[in-house]
Structures are given as C-alpha cells and as structure tokens.
Structure 1
Amino acid sequence: MIELRFKQRYSPEIITPPIKLRFNIDHVEPELKSIGVDFQLNWLSQELIIQSKDLYWHNQKVGTEINIASTREKLATALFNFDWQYTALITAQTSAVWGNSGYVSNVIKMPYKIITAIEYNEKDFNWLTQLSVEHTEFKQLWNSSELLKTVRELHWHVKPLLESRELVIHYGETDKEYICYWRNHPFKGYVNLEFTAAATSQNGRLVMRFNNPDKICYWGLPGGLVRGDDDVPTIDRKIPIEPQIRNTYIMQPTINCVRVFDDVKILISSVNYSVSRSQFSATANLKFCSRIDLERALDQELKISINGYDFYVICEQPSTSKRFANSSYSASCRGRFALLSAPYARATNYANPTAKTLAGIMSDILVNTGWSLDNKMIDYPIPTGAFSYTNLTPAAALLSVAKSVGAMLDIDNANKTVSVIPSWPVMPWDTENAICDVILNDSIILEHNTSQTISQEHNAIFVRGEQQGVACKIKRAGTLGDQFANDVVDTLITHNQAARQRGTCELANSGKKQNTTIRTKLLDDLPPIRPGMLVGVTYSNSTYKATCDSMDISASINNSGAITVSQTIKVISNV
C-alpha cells in the first residue's frame, strides 16, 4: 500500500507536481514496423480538467510517466503520458465510408419446384418505383449531469433510383410426390385436473403427454388442397392416327434385311413378326432364299425393314426342309430384348438391401445391360427387403415386376428403351370418353373376325402384400363393389398406389369380352399398331373402341417377285 500525505496548501505558483512516478520497462524490439496510436479523452467536471493520453514508440526503451495534479478551487492540468519515440511517424487510419447515389436494381425471384423443362412464362410484372431516402440518423443521448453529454450520430446517405422490379412465375408440369397433412380431430381435446388433498411441499413434478394427431399421406401432384389422381378421368390431348379414305390405294411394298454389325444384306423370301402384351420380347419367323443367307444370319442381330418400318431380331434356331428338287431354309427369331434372357444372360438372385421405389428396383434390374428404363407407372416406395427373386434373368425379372403392378413392357428395340406402361391404358368401361390412338375404317380393313369369351364380371377385389405390405379393397367407381374377384397377394404390394394399379388391372380383365381380329394394311400414314393402343373401328355399320392385345406383321415374296405386306391385330373390348 502507498500512502500519500500533503503538508502544505496548493499554490498556483507551484506548477511542479509533488510526486513523480517513473517505471522502467525492458523493451523487446518488434519485428514488424511500428504503428503510432494517438488516443485522447476529454471530459468536464465542475472546473475544466484536461487529461490527455499520448502514445509514442521508440527503439531503445519505453518510458512511462504519470503526472498527477490535484486541484480544489481553480483550474489545474493533469497529464497522463506514454512517450514512445521512433524515427519516423507511422499513422494508421481506418475509415468506413458508406454511401450510394446510383441506380439500385432489385430482382425478386420466386422459384417453384420445377423438375421438368419450363414450358413458358405465365406472367411478367413490371413496375417503376421511385425512392428518395435522404439520410437516416441514429442518435444516442446520454445525460448523467448537466455538464456531461455524449451525442453519437450515424449519417447514412442513400438515394437509390429503383428502375424496375420483375416478378417471373414459371409454369410447367411437375412430378408427383408424397403430400402429407395432419388429420383434424373431430373435437377439441381438454385436460381435467382434480386436486383432492391440501398442497404440500414436494420436489416431484407433473408430466403430461399428448399424442400427435394422425398424419395422412398420399401420392399426387403438389400445389393445392384438392386431392388429385385418385379417379382422374381420361383426358387425352393426342391426335389419333387416321389414314385418309381413298378410292384407290397404290401400294409399293418393300422388304429389306441386313446384318446389324456390318450391314451385309440377307436375302429373305418371307417374314412374320408378332408381339403381344404378355411377352417381354417379340418373336419372328424368317424364310431365307439360300443356305448361305441362313449361315450369314445365324446367331446375329438383323434389321428387317418392311415398308420403311424397322424391326430388330436375333436369328436363333435354324431349320431346314429338303425334298426332291426343292430345299427351304428358315429360322425362328426373337426381338432384341431377348439378349437379356437365356441363353444370353445368366439367371441371378436379387433382394433390395435398402429402401427403394418401384422405378429404382426396375433400374437395378437393367443396370449394366445397355438398356434404359422409361417408367409410365405411378411410382411408390418399397421397404428394405420387401422384394426379392431367385433364378431369373433380367428380362424375366422385369416382366415379373411389371405384372405385379398390372403393367406390361413396351420395347423400343431401335433405341434400347424399355417402357413400363399399364396393361389397360384406358379402362374397357371408360373407352367412350377416351380419344383413340388409331382409327380404322372399312376402306383399309381387309378382314374382320369376331368372337366372344364369357367370364364372370367383378367390381371389387382385395389386393394384399406380404410381411411389409398393405391390404386394400379396390372397387370400380360407380358400382356397389359387392362382386369380389379372387384375392391377389404379391410382395410388391407395399403401398396403396401399388394395390390400386394391380386391382384395376384385375378388374379390367374380368367380364364378358369381345375378341376381334382385324387384318389391315401397313401404309405411310398407318404405322404398326402396338399392343396397348386404343383402336377405333368402323366396320359394317358398327363403331366401337377396343384395346390392342397383339400385333402380327407378315410379308412375303412370291415366285414372280410380287410383295405382299399386311398387319393383323387382335383387339379386346367389353360387351
């Protein structure tokens, strides 16, 4: 402790302070350049007292001097100095200047969730806004006494000129996703507390637990409160294929067959190409003009062009027929997708190790095969380990998955694309409200044969999964749902959408059907009619719509060189 005693009264003539304190501090030379800092603090209290603090920096040593002056009546000066001396004065100054008087452009973007390509911009909003903000002033006033006052001002001078503001709303199709919402309770909850004893001091606590309300999720299009896709009517914006009605049809049929890898021409005398909804690959029969053509085509991929339409097949099983002065060579073929079946692909086992979707499982089947997937079915989640198969080739496994959800395979052999589409793109009881894919009339129908099959009609069915599946009752809209079909159990029925698609297909297969076989032409404006297409038929004063079940194209060359080409389709409709 230091005790200071003053024995005489302060006199104005005495300007030297009674006590001087000096401290010597060893100084270490800094490596960087020196910085001079000047700090000054002034205040007023009764009589004016000035106190200053100076900082100086020098090389040799640091001298610190504290001067204390006391006064009671008149003005006295008190100094608080740090003397750091250096040969050159270095001043560091930091300043922040904030101002802007130019143009300011604000753009507000409202991004929506867009997965597909943007079709067009629905609306553009442009407007002009003139803002004139001179300054913004922020003051802090601090009054602790009459003589003590601190004022802080922050001047902010901005004068923006907002030229335009653009709001763009993008409109386009979006993918389906899970939409979840909390179900409202039928009545408000309440808590009833009853106290039957006097209050006592306790350290315990009262715990109250409330269960969350039920959460409902469904698969549909986002963007509103109205549910979609449950019973969406058939709305088509397509233009049907309708050949022109002519008095005379001039035909110039052509047949051409080449080997795919080297374009070597193969001479054939006839070809028959067929495909149906239940197959994963088309089948074909070729008749060659010579034994050399058969040897060139055997075990090779062939491209057959009939009237300008290309078909890809694999020549597999040859056959030879010989008799006196006559020999014929032919072979049975399958479509290009048969490369994913036996004997070209080995049978494997599969089980989903993680949670996937329907499209994800089908993509796993086609991985490293060179084929791509185009899924047209409603996708849904499949839990871990819910799906598996054993000893199946990729083609057979993909067909099995498609049939589990009521779908079929539509193969594009030219582009190596597999489309998974519904077996009934249009329900047989809803064909009147749908637009046809192809329209056939009397002038191009060469043959028209009909037959009927009788089976029991159903309007409801129970579709169930297995350990991790769901159980759903699928009912045809507008019916009582009292005529049940046999239950369907499948491992892939793990979601309501899976049950809905499979059950709809089963109900469409039931009932009395009319099978019609139509032989028609293959023209420039009448391409091959693919299975699954909705065909409108006008023949012998009758008009109806039916779903194509199979297609067969035949072409042949007779001994005189005349070429005959026709296509035969089998369509199914409800009676």
Structure 2
Amino acid sequence: MLATEIGAGWSRARPVSARDAGMPWGTLQPAEVSPSLDWGKGHALDASMLAGWDGLAGLDVHLRARWTRALSVDRCAASPFDVVPVKDLFLTPGWDRSIQRRDLHIQIRYNPMPARADSSTAPRFQRSDEHGPRFDAELERDRSLYVPGSPLAFTFSGQRYTPSNAPVVFFDFRYAPAPRVIQPVDSGAVVNFRPARRLNLPMALLWGRARPLDPVPTGIEYPDYEGPITIIVPPPAEPDILETYMIANSVSLVVLPGRAPLAASSIRVERDIDSFAWTLQAQLVGRTSLNLVRPDAAGPKEVELAINGHTWSFIIERYTGTGKLADERYTVTGVSLTQLLAKPYAPARSQTNTAPVNAEQAAVFELEYTDFTVNWDTWVAGPPDWTMPPGAFSYSELTPMEVIAKLAETAGGVVRPALNARELTVLPRYREPVWQWSSAIMDKIIPAAMVTDWGSEWQPQPEWNSCYVSGTNHGIGIMVRRAGTAGDNPTPDVYDDWMTGEQAGRARGIAELCKGGNQEIVTLNLPLFPSTTAPGLVEPAMLCEVRDIDETWRGLCLATSIDAQGVGAARVTQTLRLERHHREGA
C-alpha cells in the first residue's frame, strides 16, 4: 500500500497592476443604489382577472437560428465601407457624354398627335368625296420629279457635281403629294331601287292548295326525287248492284276488360258533324247486366260494341231504370273515349302563349301527358296550319277538347273521333268547295238500290259570294270572294280571337260561303254493310255520291245514326243526313 500526502498552502495574492493584465477594464463606477427595490410578499389582486401563464407552443423550431459567439476575423482583412476600389476600368460601359450631336434634323416625337385625315375637307358635314373624279395614287407618284433609287447626276458650270464629305448644301427630293379627300370604293356604281316591273300579268298564278284532278292513281314512283308530290285521293269503292241483298247482322255488347256479355234489347249509336264523340244508348234487361256497367267510385265502366265488323268503345256515363214484377229494364247512356278530354273528366285550364306557336303544335300540346293523339294533315287533307304570335293563343277555363275543337273551327274544320282508339282527327268541314263537287273525288258511293226509304227538307239560304274574316286583338282581316263574282252579297262578318293566318282565313271564308245557296237536307236509310263491302259505315264530314234513279247528285254527310234491335242476329239500319246543294258545279 502506497500513501501520498498532498497539501496546498493558501495565502493572500499579490496585487497586480491593471496595465499588466493587458485588458482595458478599469475601476467600475458605483451604480445608483436608491432605485433598488425590496422584494416582499405581493398584495392579492382580483383573482378573476388572473391569467394562467404556461409554456408557449414551439413554432417552426426547424427554422430557429442559433446565435453563438462570432468568430474573430482578421482585422486587416476588413474592408472599410466608404470607397469601392476601381477594377477593370477597361470594361467601363460608355455611359457618359461622349456621343456627339449629329443628325439634328431627325427628330423623334413621342406620342405625336395623329394626323387629321381629310383636313382639307373640314366642312361641317364631314363627308367623303363620293362622286368626284377617281384619284389614282400610282399615277400621282409617277408625276414626281425624282423617284428614290434611280441614278441622279448634276452639272454645274460644265463640270459634274461630286458631293463632298462635308457638304454645305443638301438636296431634298422628297415628294409630298397634296392631301386628298378619301373616296369610297366603287362610289361610281349607283344602284337605283325601284319596284320591279310586272311582266306577263295575264299569266299570273294564284298560289294556293292544289287540287288533285286525276281520279285514278298513276302509281309512278320517282326514285331520284325526295321532295313533296301531289297526293292523289283514291276513288271510292264501287258498290255491287244486286237484286237482293242478304246481310247476316252481328251485334255484341261486352264489358271491358273481362268481355262479359250484356243483354240489350235495343241499341242506338249516333254522331253529327259538330260533335267530337259518338253517343250510345242501349236498353239492358235485368239487374245483372246493370251491375256490370254501373259506375262506381273507381269511375265509369268501359264497354265495347261491335256491329257487322265495326267496333266502338264507350264509357257508360249514366243510367235510368223502370220495372215491374219480373220485368226490369234500364237505359244506359255512353260516349266514346274522346269524351275523357272534355268535361267533367278533363280539368279546365287557362293559358297564354309567350312564343309563336302553330295551330297544330297547340293541338298536340293540349294532349301532352295523355295517351291521346291528334292527326292533323295540314298538307293534303287540311285544314291548313297557321302561326299565332305571342299573346294571340290565349284562353280561359277550357278543356283540351274544347281548345282543339275551337282551333279546328277557326280554320273551317271539324273534329272526327276514332271509333275504338284514343285518337282524333282534324278535318275540313268541306273538303272541297260546294261549287267544285261535280269534279271532286267522293268518299262514298250510295246507289239507289241500297236505299230502303228516304226523306228531304228544303232549307234555302242566301247565295253568298264573299265573306270578311278577321281576328280581334291579334291577327289579320281578309275578304274572301268567290272567283268570278262581284262579291256584292257578303255573309255575316266572322271574328275569331285566334285568326292570325292568311291561309286559315281563306279556308274559314270558303267554309262560310259553302253554307249558303239553295239546299236541302236529305235523309237516307240503308243497311250497315261490313267494312269489306261498299259503302260500309258512312261517317260525318264525308262526301257522298248518291246515284238516284233519275239523277246523280253529291252531298255532305251531316249526321249518322245506327239502330240495332237486340243483340245477336238483329235488324240493323244506318240513317244518314246529307246536305245537298242546288247550284252550278254542285
């Protein structure tokens, strides 16, 4: 074991001079002691105003700059911040006043005022020279004394002039043409606007709807032409003339959709030219048949009637009943399906168009969101279509069917309902004018051999030859006059709110003229032949040719009624009311 004794002796240090320490630190000056504060216990303040101090969250620690003691730098390398030493004087850019004043006559004017065009024509009208002699700039330039780029030589005192390096005289051969007034292009071409000369006045054609003249279709096809062609109306089927007609009538009345048969003792179906629905009246035998068609909370019941191959669909609207012991009879009344577009089934509404609309478009719009369709052949069958401006197509509290019927009436047309489908057709009341019936193509031919009995009633009207048709708040006013007449016997004026088209006004005027003249209403009773045998079912608005015993005449079907006594093998009669005119051309 090794033991070492270590001892240290402490004594007072010797005083050292400040100069020996090599530091510029001297005696410290005594600081003011009086401002010193005695620390003691603080007074309690409002504890509610106390704010809790805690550590602040460190933000962007990675951007923190660490301050340390700067390194000592060589004082001799310090650069005084006063004078920048001059370096690379040979690269000094020429930013001084060494540029001499040369070419003082070239002046650059910043933002000069634009030159005034046509300053010489500064009259108050400020018009260009529209009718003066044409100014040719190329010709004016050729007239100048000197054109830059061509050789030039001067001779003074017999010697050739040679310009010196420091000439005293300068020559300026610039040519400044006199300012000219601007001229429009082709100002000399004057076009005089005046009405065109009318040539070949006797050859003028009145453009309108063409009439098919060929009664027999040609069947010619045009493979290289896709445009519109004249549609030839086919002639009616010729009925067979026999000594005796044997018809096995077939009548059935069933309830849809189950097709339960109904016991009916008599059935009557009828419609006139101004109606948009067929009507049914039938007598049912027994309460059982009535219970099958009695309307209930779900609405009216639908039935189907078939007579000799012609089928109708009806909805039962009402019924009445009478009875006694063991004998109950009920009379039911029905209408065709188009009645669903009228009261009380369809709601009445009001509207005003805010954009131009065609009559056909307006009719299609009325059937929107329904399962009904409308057929309006505006090119062949008519009536013509027309455009109603904004605000013209306006109505209040009308059902869709009332609107379509009014549109058809405006152009002289009627509405024909389908027999057993949810569709309707808009047709002209008079497909051909009365005075052209002799050359028109008929829809049906009725021989006298098929007529069982007939009747007539004379109903004369004035022989009108002109009609004034006009709109009310919108539209046009036109005078429709029958060609070849003086137009001195007009019909009562026709005013319609929706009359805004010329062709529609012409069609309405023709329809009104056709109602006049000497005429009679002829009633014909004939059998209802099947659809495969002429003439079949004759509907209102059809033109019929009646081949009577003494003469052949033509008439317009105004109403049709069909009577069937009982169901099964029953007796069926078709009754027609025809409008016959006694005038030239009818």
The answer for the alignment partner of 1:15 in structure 2 is: none
* Counterparts of 1:401 and 1:469, CA distance in 2: 14
Contact 1:370 1:416 in 2 (8 A): yes
Contact 2:271 2:277 in 1 (8 A): yes
Contact 1:530 1:548 in 2 (8 A): yes
Deviations 1:431-471 (A, max 9, x none): 10012211111221011111110221210011111232101
Please identify which structure carries the higher strand content: 1
Structure 2 residue identity aligned to 1:229: G
Aligned CA distance change for structure 1 residues 320 and 277 (closer, same or farther; 3 Å)? same
Aligned CA distance change for structure 1 residues 413 and 521 (closer, same or farther; 3 Å)? closer
The answer for the alignment partner of 1:240 in structure 2 is: 236
The answer for the alignment partner of 2:348 in structure 1 is: 347
The answer for the alignment partner of 2:273 in structure 1 is: 277
The answer for the alignment partner of 2:578 in structure 1 is: 571
In the TM superposition, what is the alpha-carbon distance from 1:363 to its structure 2 partner? 1.0
The answer for the alignment partner of 2:522 in structure 1 is: 516
Q: Does 1:333 align with 2:334?
A: yes
- The residue correspondences of 1:448-467 to structure 2 (distance < 5 A) are 448-467=454-473
The answer for the alignment partner of 1:436 in structure 2 is: 442
Contact 2:372 2:423 in 1 (8 A): yes
Q: How many residue pairs end up in the alignment?
A: 366
* Counterparts of 2:508 and 2:191, CA distance in 1: 39
- The residue correspondences of 1:100-499 to structure 2 (distance < 5 A) are 201-202=122-123, 204-205=126-127, 228-230=207-209, 232=211, 237-298=233-294, 299-323=300-324, 325-376=326-377, 377-499=383-505
Structure 2, unpaired ranges of 5+: 1-119, 131-186, 197-203, 216-232, 295-299, 378-382
Contact 2:311 2:419 in 1 (8 A): no
* Counterparts of 2:385 and 2:542, CA distance in 1: 22
Q: Secondary structure at the match of 2:334?
A: strand
The answer for the alignment partner of 1:529 in structure 2 is: 538
* Counterparts of 1:398 and 1:511, CA distance in 2: 29
Structure 2 residue identity aligned to 1:277: I
In the TM superposition, what is the alpha-carbon distance from 1:309 to its structure 2 partner? 0.7
Q: Secondary structure at the match of 2:260?
A: coil
Contact 2:313 2:419 in 1 (8 A): yes
Aligned CA distance change for structure 1 residues 231 and 484 (closer, same or farther; 3 Å)? farther
Identity of matched residues, % = 25
In the TM superposition, what is the alpha-carbon distance from 1:265 to its structure 2 partner? 2.2
Structure having greater relative contact order (Cα 8 Å, sep ≥ 6): 2
TM-score between the two structures when normalised by the length of structure 1: 0.60
Contact 2:387 2:501 in 1 (8 A): yes
Deviations 1:394-437 (A, max 9, x none): 11221122111110001114332211110011222211001221
Q: Secondary structure at the match of 1:454?
A: coil
Of 534, 546, 549, 1:540 maps to: 549
- The residue correspondences of 1:78-117 to structure 2 (distance < 5 A) are none
Contact 2:474 2:498 in 1 (8 A): no
Deviations 1:188-214 (A, max 9, x none): xxxxxxxxxxx9643702699999888
Aligned CA distance change for structure 1 residues 234 and 482 (closer, same or farther; 3 Å)? farther
Structure 1 residue identity aligned to 2:454: H
Aligned CA distance change for structure 1 residues 211 and 256 (closer, same or farther; 3 Å)? farther
In the TM superposition, what is the alpha-carbon distance from 1:496 to its structure 2 partner? 0.6
Structure 2 residue identity aligned to 1:541: D
In the TM superposition, what is the alpha-carbon distance from 1:387 to its structure 2 partner? 1.5
Deviations 1:331-363 (A, max 9, x none): 111111001111211111122221111101111
Deviations 1:369-396 (A, max 9, x none): 2111111321121101102111111112
In the TM superposition, what is the alpha-carbon distance from 1:243 to its structure 2 partner? 2.0
* Counterparts of 1:486 and 1:263, CA distance in 2: 51
Aligned CA distance change for structure 1 residues 234 and 380 (closer, same or farther; 3 Å)? farther
Structure 2 residue identity aligned to 1:362: A
Aligned CA distance change for structure 1 residues 292 and 211 (closer, same or farther; 3 Å)? farther
Structure 1 residue identity aligned to 2:487: G
Aligned CA distance change for structure 1 residues 546 and 234 (closer, same or farther; 3 Å)? farther
- The residue correspondences of 1:44-83 to structure 2 (distance < 5 A) are none
In the TM superposition, what is the alpha-carbon distance from 1:263 to its structure 2 partner? 2.2
Mark the structure with the bigger radius of gyration.
2
Of 547, 560, 564, 1:555 maps to: 564
* Counterparts of 1:502 and 1:235, CA distance in 2: 26
Aligned CA distance change for structure 1 residues 286 and 213 (closer, same or farther; 3 Å)? farther
Aligned CA distance change for structure 1 residues 230 and 475 (closer, same or farther; 3 Å)? farther
Structure 2 residue identity aligned to 1:349: S
Structure 1 residue identity aligned to 2:571: T
Aligned CA distance change for structure 1 residues 419 and 366 (closer, same or farther; 3 Å)? same
Contact 2:384 2:411 in 1 (8 A): no
* Counterparts of 2:210 and 2:318, CA distance in 1: 47
Deviations 1:508-552 (A, max 9, x none): 112221100001011131321011111111223121010111111
Structure 1, unpaired ranges of 5+: 1-198, 216-224
Structure 2 residue identity aligned to 1:573: R
In the TM superposition, what is the alpha-carbon distance from 1:489 to its structure 2 partner? 0.9
Contact 2:521 2:580 in 1 (8 A): yes
In the TM superposition, what is the alpha-carbon distance from 1:235 to its structure 2 partner? 5.6
Contact 1:337 1:413 in 2 (8 A): no
* Counterparts of 1:480 and 1:266, CA distance in 2: 61
Aligned CA distance change for structure 1 residues 504 and 210 (closer, same or farther; 3 Å)? farther
Q: Secondary structure at the match of 1:409?
A: strand
Over aligned residue pairs, what C-alpha RMSD do you find?
2.5
Aligned CA distance change for structure 1 residues 432 and 319 (closer, same or farther; 3 Å)? same
Q: Secondary structure at the match of 2:561?
A: strand
Structure 2 residue identity aligned to 1:316: E
Contact 2:250 2:569 in 1 (8 A): no
Aligned CA distance change for structure 1 residues 500 and 384 (closer, same or farther; 3 Å)? same
* Counterparts of 1:214 and 1:233, CA distance in 2: 35
Aligned CA distance change for structure 1 residues 324 and 487 (closer, same or farther; 3 Å)? same
Contact 1:356 1:383 in 2 (8 A): yes
Aligned CA distance change for structure 1 residues 445 and 344 (closer, same or farther; 3 Å)? same
